[in-house]
Amino acid sequence: MAESKARKTATEPAAKQAVTSAAKPDVKPDVKQAAKPDVKATAKPTAKAAAKPPVKPRKPESHLAMVRRARRINRELAELYPYAHPELDFENPFQLLVATVLSAQTTDLRVNQTTPALFAKYPTPEDMAAANPEELEEVIRPTGFFRNKAKALIGLSTALRDEFGGEVPGRLADLVTLPGVGRKTANVVLGNAFGVPGITVDTHFGRLARRFGWTTEEDPVKVELAVAEIFPKSEWTMLSHRVVFHGRRICHSQKPACGACPIAPLCPAYGEGELDPEKARKLLKYEMGGQPGQRLKPPSDFPGEAAARADAAAHQGRVADLGVDT
């Protein structure tokens, strides 16, 4: 009996140690690892998460497939913006050149509000070349950076007077020699005043070209050259208008209206912006949002208020029927 009691006493610490060592690793990890996933798994999705449709990852795309998709985007934009046009008011190449220089770092609407008084006072390159800098600065002050812009306007007007007989040249190589005129401004003038195809790479065009997967370049000239290889030359000018229109109205810089975008199925960047259709519709600008565009003297083929509203209504119908599958 003493021997049995001794054996029991000897085995108790070992048994207790075995139970303790077995219990600790099993209980803690099981509770810790099982509890958290269960809570997350059973948690109800938030309204915000439920509102956003899932965004499927895209498969790698060949260059040929990208070109085909890019050209389809252009066709879709042509249907969406059949009235796309330059949003600067102008009546001749000189006015367009001046207005484009003034449009840097401001809106086209602000320029359109400023140029009537400007062209009334300085209707020709000769007049602007002889302008008093302080007086010119005062006229264009609302457009911002007025000192630098006044210097550029007097410089380019002087060059037009002295080197081109007071006429705006119709060649890219000549235009870019004018003070304050780069490739973007030159292409605007060539495409819209002379009918010479050109790609206008402003901030909107560059942003959308990257979002659409047409290029990864940041430099405007490199973007222009990359996009020029995708589209036929005859499309360059109108392509520029359509892409800029889309960037100003739907595909905004900070918060694109993805949920109200008719070309969402073709866009690799779908999901970067607001996906909820109702919230996205509130982000739409200009005629897409029921508001006028930036021109004060729009061209004759630009839709009036009634036509703009009809287009906006048609746009809403297209969005309602849109099945986004990316």
Report the C-alpha gap between 326 and 313 in whole angstroms.
25
Annotated catalytic residue, options 89, 108, 184, 276? 184
Please spell the DSSP secondary structure of 148-201, one letter per residue: HHHHHHHHHHHHHHHHSTTS--SSHHHHTTSTT--HHHHHHHHHHHS-------
Q: 214, 70 in Cβ contact below 8 A?
A: yes
Q: How far apart are CA 57 and CA 291, in angstroms?
A: 35
Active-site residue, selected from the candidate residues 38, 202, 282, 311: 202
With beta carbons less than 8 A apart as the criterion, state whether 172 and 198 touch: yes
Q: Which residue has the tokens 């819209």?
A: 192
User: Tokens in use for 162?
Assistant: 């002295």
**Cα–Cα distance measured from residue 297 to residue 108, given in angstroms and rounded to the nearest whole number:** 12
Active site residue 48: no
Which amino acid makes up residue 167? Answer: E
Q: Please give, one letter per residue, the 3-state secondary structure of 282-297.
A: CCCCHHHHCCCCCCCC
Q: Measured in whole angstroms, how far is the alpha carbon of residue 278 from the centre of its chain?
A: 20
Closest CA to 136 of 158, 152, 113: 152
Nearest-angstrom CA–CA distance, 235 and 73: 13
Q: Is 279 exposed, middle or buried (0-12, 13-18, 19+ CB in 10 A)?
A: middle
Is residue 184 part of the annotated active site? The answer reads yes
Give the angle subtended at the CA of 205 by the CAs of 200 and 208, to the nearest 5°.
155
Contact present, 295 and 285 (Cβ < 8 Å)? no
Active site residues: 184, 202
